[in-house]
């Protein structure tokens, strides 16, 4: 089930066109301050819109917030073979921010999309020309991703409701996993449903999370909004609603993008699901992701009037669920439209029940921690496969040195990049005759 | 005694660091971000600390909404974690009420940040 995706169902030119469209449009929307992908840069947009910053000042801040993420996106591609949103949409945020007018934004956004689509395929073919092709070893990076990610409900429960409940959930998940591997498949009459263990382990965990959350929310206190906050919410929700055409087109493109795998979201989970031929895992994980990200995206969107380029990420779910590729954009368009209509309501609910938005924080943190740990382990596995103990030493060195020098490379990117460095060094050694194959 | 609200992804870790490093000097609390930001606005609490993946999004969104952009500062971002001296300078050269940082920088940022806030409130020079 682990591995890098190199055989795509849809041809490279087709995927490239989709990616170019996504990037061009996202860049335009970032230029017009309609939506952006980097949640951290979103609060800066009103500074430009309300004239407190010049475009150049604004673009510098947005780029500063984005650089590390593009690197993380690149490392995601290295580990999965999928072009993730972090590689494309964070960059288009910056390109749109720098663009002096909308035409430039469209053109350089599209050009960047083309660069991603063809550049990554070029690097892939360059790998095969190496004396030692370590692409197969890099597949190890994503191998722990899904198994560890499945544990996110247990981690979220442990940090929110205490260690005891977390451990109980972990045990339940493990039992479900083992049960599914033993049973294998269930027959309903003539239909055989295979029990993909990761899907059901995660499902069990998410049910626990739901039960604990409902129990915990019984004594949640509600807070009344002051009129100032209400006015801000209404004003910004209306701004986002008024841009619905732009946003729904972006939603349609994103849904098409993930359906044909031109662009990926949560690439480590997605690639595992694609390779296992079981999209149910990814779809289930996406439900968790949507719940986890709603508080973050709704609060940043309503605080600024700028929406998230992938919305509440429901477009990614419906894009996968769409039965054919041409239905994916239709689903995406509708999902994005519904999201925008619900935005104001969600915002009011979340600010009224602040504990709910805290739940989102716990789940998000749990997911990030699980994937982060999985990548650390995966990078060591990959380096070990390439160059044994030397590889392990180099990856370990990257990690500790990056930490003491102020994390110049984002923590999630350092492992995969180190594993690639090991592969390159190994090839240099072969070239110099210092290592014999 | 300074009162600080710990919010965001590593709220609990932030609170634990503060309580361990500055016992008796700081009162750290763990309110949800909306309540925390309002307490800072009303003056019940002195400062708001928040962490997220980016250092400026989830960590500060609510604070920006309630306190305004000018009162909020992104201390660290992905790929750039300032050192103790730089953090101290950031604190002394502004009058911010809310601070955001990347969750994986929590251990490096929080002690320096809180130390600077304490010293500044006591009128010590930078």
pLDDT tens track of chain A, all 437 residues?
345 777 788 999 999 999 999 999 999 999 999 999 999 899 889 989 989 889 999 999 899 888 889 999 999 998 898 999 999 999 999 999 999 999 999 999 999 999 999 999 899 888 888 899 888 888 899 889 999 999 999 999 998 899 999 999 999 999 999 998 888 777 777 766 777 889 899 999 999 998 988 887 776 677 777 777 788 888 999 999 999 999 999 999 999 999 999 999 999 999 989 988 888 899 999 999 999 999 889 988 988 999 999 999 999 999 999 999 999 999 999 999 999 999 989 988 887 877 777 888 889 989 989 999 999 999 999 999 999 999 999 999 999 999 888 788 888 889 999 999 999 999 999 999 888 77
- pTM (2 d.p.): 0.89
List of chain B residues whose C-beta atoms are within 8 Å of the C-beta of residue A44: 56, 69
- Check CB contact under 8 Å for A407 and B58: no
Interface check A103 vs B, CB under 8 A: no
Interfacial B residues in 32-91 facing A (CB < 8 Å): 32-35, 52-58, 60-62, 64-66, 69, 72, 74, 77-83
> Would you call B79 and A299 a contact, using CB atoms and an 8 Å cutoff?
no
Query: B47: which strand partners?
Result: B4
CA distances from A67 to A80, A84, A91, A308 (A): 20, 15, 8, 18
ipTM > 0.90 (yes/no): no
- Residues A34, A366, B55, B42: is their CA dihedral positive or negative? positive
Residues A414 and A418: their CA atoms lie apart, in Å, by 6
Q: Indicate the domain borders of chain A.
A: 12-143+222-431, 147-219
Q: What domains are defined for chain B?
A: 2-121 (3.40.1400.10)
What does A154-202 look like in DSSP terms, one character per residue?
A: HHHHHHHH-HHHHHHHHHHHHHHHHHHHHH-EEEETTEEEE--HHHHHH
User: Testing the interface with A: which of B41, B65, B84 to mutate, by most A Cβ within 10 A?
Assistant: B65
Question: Is B13 part of the contact surface with chain A (CB cutoff 8 Å)?
Answer: no
Residues of chain B found within 8 Å of residue A227, distances taken between Cβ atoms: none
């Amino acid at each position: 089930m682990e591995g890098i995706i190199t055989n795509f169902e849809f041809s490279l030119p087709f995927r490239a066109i989709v990616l170019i469209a996504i990037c061009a449009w996202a860049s335009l929307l970032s230029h017009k301050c309609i939506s952006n992908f980097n949640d951290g840069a979103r609060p800066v947009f009103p500074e430009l819109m309300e004239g407190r910053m010049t475009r150049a000042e604004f673009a510098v801040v947005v780029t500063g917030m984005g650089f590390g993420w593009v690197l993380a996106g690149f490392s995601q591609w290295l580990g999965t073979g999928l072009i993730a949103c972090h590689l494309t949409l964070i960059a288009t945020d910056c390109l749109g921010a720098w663009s002096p007018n909308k035409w430039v934004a469209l053109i350089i956004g599209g050009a960047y999309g083309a660069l991603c689509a063809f550049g990554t395929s070029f690097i892939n073919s360059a790998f095969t020309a190496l004396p030692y092709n370590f692409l197969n070893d890099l597949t190890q990076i994503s191998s722990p991703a899904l198994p560890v990610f499945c544990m996110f409900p247990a981690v979220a429960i442990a940090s929110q409701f205490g260690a005891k409940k977390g451990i109980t959930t972990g045990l339940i998940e493990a039992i479900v996993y083992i049960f599914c591997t033993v049973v294998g498949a269930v027959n309903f009459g003539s239909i055989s449903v295979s029990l993909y263990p990761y899907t059901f382990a995660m499902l069990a965990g998410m049910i626990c999370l739901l039960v604990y959350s409902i129990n915990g929310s019984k004594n949640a206190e509600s807070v009344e909004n002051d009129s100032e906050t209400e006015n801000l919410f209404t004003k910004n929700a209306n701004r986002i609603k008024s841009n619905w055409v732009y946003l729904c087109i972006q939603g349609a493109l994103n849904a098409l993008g993930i359906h044909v795998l031109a662009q990926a979201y949560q690439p480590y989970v997605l690639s595992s699901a694609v390779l296992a031929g079981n999209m149910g895992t990814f779809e289930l994980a996406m439900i968790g992701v949507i719940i986890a990200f709603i508080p973050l995206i709704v609060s940043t969107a309503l605080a600024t009037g700028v929406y998230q380029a992938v919305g509440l990420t429901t477009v990614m779910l419906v894009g996968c669920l769409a039965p054919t590729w041409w239905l994916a954009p239709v689903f995406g368009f509708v999902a994005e439209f519904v999201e925008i209509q619900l935005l104001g309501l969600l915002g009011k609910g979340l600010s009224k029940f602040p504990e709910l938005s805290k739940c989102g924080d716990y789940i998000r943190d749990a997911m990030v921690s699980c994937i982060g740990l999985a990548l650390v382990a995966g990078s060591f596995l990959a380096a070990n496969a390439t160059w044994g103990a030397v590889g392990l030493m180099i990856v370990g060195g990257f990690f500790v040195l990056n930490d003491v020098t102020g994390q110049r490379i984002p923590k999630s990117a350092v492992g995969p990049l180190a594993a690639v460095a090991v592969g390159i060094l190994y090839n240099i050694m072969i070239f110099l005759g210092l290592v014999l194959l | 005694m300074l009162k600080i609200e710990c919010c965001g992804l590593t709220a609990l870790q932030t609170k634990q660091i503060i309580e361990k490093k500055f016992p008796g000097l700081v009162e750290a609390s763990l309110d949800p971000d909306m309540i925390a930001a309002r307490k800072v606005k009303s003056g019940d609490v002195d400062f708001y600390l928040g962490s997220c993946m980016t250092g400026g999004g989830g960590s500060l969104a609510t604070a920006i909404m309630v306190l305004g952009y000018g009162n909020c500062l992104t201390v660290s971002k992905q790929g750039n974690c300032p050192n103790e001296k730089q953090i101290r300078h950031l604190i002394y050269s502004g009058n911010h009420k809310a601070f955001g940082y990347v969750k994986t920088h929590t251990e490096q940022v929080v002690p320096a940040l809180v130390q600077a806030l304490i010293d500044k409130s006591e009128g010590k020079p930078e």
